[in-house]
Amino acid sequence: MELIKQRVHMNRCNSREHVRVTLDTDFNVPDIKPDAKAVMQEKGEVVIEEVRILDGKANIKGALYFTILYAGEDELPVCDLTGNIPINETVELGCESTREDEITVHTSIEDLRGELINSRKFGIKAIINMEVLAESIYDGEGAVDIEGDDESIRKRKKNLDITRLILSKKDTLRVRDECKIPGTKDTIGRILYDDVSLLEVDTRVGEDKLVLTGEASLFIIYLSSDEVPQLNFHECIIPLNGEVNCGGCDETNVVQAEVGIHSRELEVKSDEDGEDRVIDVEIVLELAIKAFGEEQMELLTDFYSTKKECRPVFQTSYFENLIMKNKSKSRVNGKIELNSVNSPLQIWKVSGEVRVDEKRVVEDGVDVEGIIDINVLYQSADDSVPLAASSGVLPFEQHIQIPDIQPDSDIRMNAGLEQISGALLGDNEADIKAVIVLDVLAFNNIEEPIIADLELEELDCAARAREPGLIGYVVKKGEELWDIAKEFYTTIDTIMEINKLESDIIHEGDVLLVMKEANCS
């Protein structure tokens, strides 16, 4: 006889570490750029380029890529300075992490400031938060049956609801579209600054594919093509549509995809009238995809033989069960104070980034607390510094109901902004409205004793012969007919027949007749 075992692929988080990285560097203004008068806005993006695991530590290499908008000479009122600051950080991982783990690094910029040291030099200071996850794909294994034609074997099984990992992959998706400057605005002479940010993004699984739909916002600051160039801005929506190959998936699967912008390219083109009003946009999205399938596993939980000493050998195995997928949205409103030195005339761009500070499992779900880092870029009344920016934070709290949640449930969450906008309130205040999206997967962890092996021996026939042929047995607390039949090498059907039982339900204190079967003949 041999056990038939079934393996289930699952994703396990072996370590989750949080670190804060501080950067402080000076940058010179290139010779081809004009002198700087004042800082208008800072923008940054963290790119992780390499992660290596060695001796329980993750070495993370990357860079903070930044852009500073600053006030330049009158002929070029807005200039940009771009550069990068290397990041080389070593993070201690948990004791369960191994070299085979897949490392995922989530980053957020807590603070980024550009300070004007002199007309040819900036000081860049930043605080980067990193969440470092070490995950592994492992097999939860369980015996589901016994192979062989031994009719004396009695088997007990139960159904276990589990979630298996079908696919884990990283991929990219290219999206291309055009954005046209309306006739009410000046034609493009030169783009000084551009920014692409994701808005609502939805993903769903089809047959062997992931289907992505959504929107991205393109914002540009440009000089017109007039003889005396004028400073302008334009913002438009780029639709996102595409498919990524996901072999082995289908419509019944549950998917969670982290979507970010890897790169973008802009090219100014002429419209049908020969005017430079068309921007050709190509966006490369990077995706980290995990697809899960829910199934019911029929697990072999016990067995015995009426003719042999047949004992199961147990060990502990671990499974997980998806209890909820939820895409929760909430509105957040608040006010941001603007720089009183640069009186605002018009808001040009409001951007934000969601940062989740705490996920707290409670009785009926999870409480989420965090902030939205807000940046407001606006036209200033000062002609020498035509643009200014102010930043602030909007706190938020949200309760997500999750039935059947346990204190040790695994909550996997992606947070983003679906919408964000701002309006001026008086001279130095902006009213901000935003919609936060929290994409949540909640798993319950299942610790299950499974049968890993079996031991077989011949019955001690001499000992069996000394036992009485019929005994009266008093049912103990918690016992079932299965336990009694196993102890006396008989069957449930036999006990029910002798005692004329209509059901296999018994209670503490019941007296049953148990007949010895001639198993050694």
Q: Which two tokens stand for residue 64?
A: 């903070």
What's the average model confidence in pLDDT over 363-392? 89
At residue 76, the pLDDT reads 74
Q: What is the mean pLDDT of residues 473-488?
A: 92
Position 509 scores a pLDDT of: 94
- pLDDT tens figures, 239-289: 999 999 999 999 999 999 999 998 899 999 999 999 999 999 999 999 999
CB of 181 closer than 8 Å to CB of 279: yes
Q: Regarding predicted confidence, which is higher, 40 or 127?
A: 127
User: Residue 380: pLDDT above 90?
Assistant: no
- pLDDT tier for residue 96 given thresholds of 50, 70 and 90: low
Structure confidence at residue 458 (pLDDT): 81
Alpha helices in 364-450 (DSSP H): none
Q: Are 350 and 422 in contact (CB under 8 A)?
A: yes
SS (H, E, C) 466-498: HCCCEEEEECCCCCCHHHHHHHCCCCHHHHHHH
Name the pairing type of β-strands 2-28 and 121-147: antiparallel
The rounded distance, in Å, linking the Cα atoms of 192 and 63 is 23
Catalogue the E-assigned strands of 225-364. 231-245, 254-270, 276-305, 308-337, 344-362
Q: Residue 246 carries which DSSP code?
A: -
Give CA–CA dist 518/484, Å, rounded. Answer: 17
Q: What average pLDDT does range 492-503 have in this prediction?
A: 93
- Alpha-carbon distance of 41 to 375, in angstroms, equals 9
Contact (CB, 8 A) for 240 and 213 = yes
Lowest mean per-residue pLDDT among 1-10, 127-136, 172-181 = 1-10
Q: CA 511 to CA 476: how far, in whole Å?
A: 10
Summarised one tens digit per residue, pLDDT across range 189-238 is: 988 888 899 988 999 999 999 999 999 999 999 989 888 888 899 999 99
Provide mean pLDDT across the span 156-176: 91
pLDDT for 156: 92
Facing residues of 297 across strands?
Answer: 160
Specify burial of residue 240 (Cβ count, 10 A radius: 0-12, 13-18, 19+).
buried
Rounded alpha-carbon distances, angstroms, from residue 344 to 186, 398, 463: 22, 33, 97
Residue among 297, 290, 359 nearest 135 (CA) = 290
How do residues 115-129 score in pLDDT, each as one tens digit?
A: 999 999 999 999 999
User: Which residue, among 316, 326, 359, 356, has the nearest Cα to 445 in the 3D structure?
Assistant: 316
Q: Tokens 């074997």 appear where?
A: 153
CB contact at 8 A, 117 and 35: no
pLDDT at res. 23? 95
Find the distance separating the first CA and the last CA of the chain, reported in whole Å: 21
**Looking at residue 79, what is its pLDDT?**
85
Identify the CA nearest to 238 among candidates 206, 194, 203, 290.
Answer: 194
CA distance 496 to 402: 43
Instruction: Specify the pLDDT at position 518.
Output: 54
Contact 497, 508 (CB under 8 A): no
At residue 414, what are phi and psi to the nearest 5 degrees?
Answer: -110, 135
- Mean per-residue pLDDT of the chain: 89
The predicted model gives 345-361 an average pLDDT of 91
Q: What count of other Cβ atoms lies within 10 Å of the Cβ of residue 96?
A: 13
Number of Cβ atoms within 10 Å of the Cβ of 186:
20
The 3-state secondary structure of 19-34 reads EEEEEEEEEECCCCCC
Q: 382-410 pLDDT, tens per residue?
A: 877 888 888 899 999 999 999 889 998 98
Edge-to-edge, what's the strand order for the sheet holding 387-401? 344-362, 365-380, 387-401
Please name which of 287, 73, 262, 274 lies closest in space to residue 168, comparing C-alpha atoms: 287
Q: 18: burial class by Cβ within 10 Å (0-12, 13-18, 19+)? A: exposed
**Which value, in Å, is the radius of gyration of the alpha carbons in the chain?**
33
CA–CA gap between residue 81 and residue 259 (Å, rounded): 27
Amino acid 29: pLDDT: 92
Q: So what's the pLDDT on residue 60?
A: 93
Question: Which is nearest to 219 in space by CA: 79, 379, 377?
Answer: 377
pLDDT winner (highest mean) among 275-284, 302-311, 464-473: 275-284
| For range 425-437, the mean pLDDT | 90
DSSP 462: H
Beta carbons within 10 angstroms of residue 500's beta carbon: 7
Query: pTM of the entire structure?
Result: 0.81
Residue 519 has pLDDT above 90, yes or no: no
Amino acid at 450: I
pLDDT surpassing 90 at residue 469 = no
* Nearest of 344, 404, 393, 345 to residue 369 by alpha carbon: 393
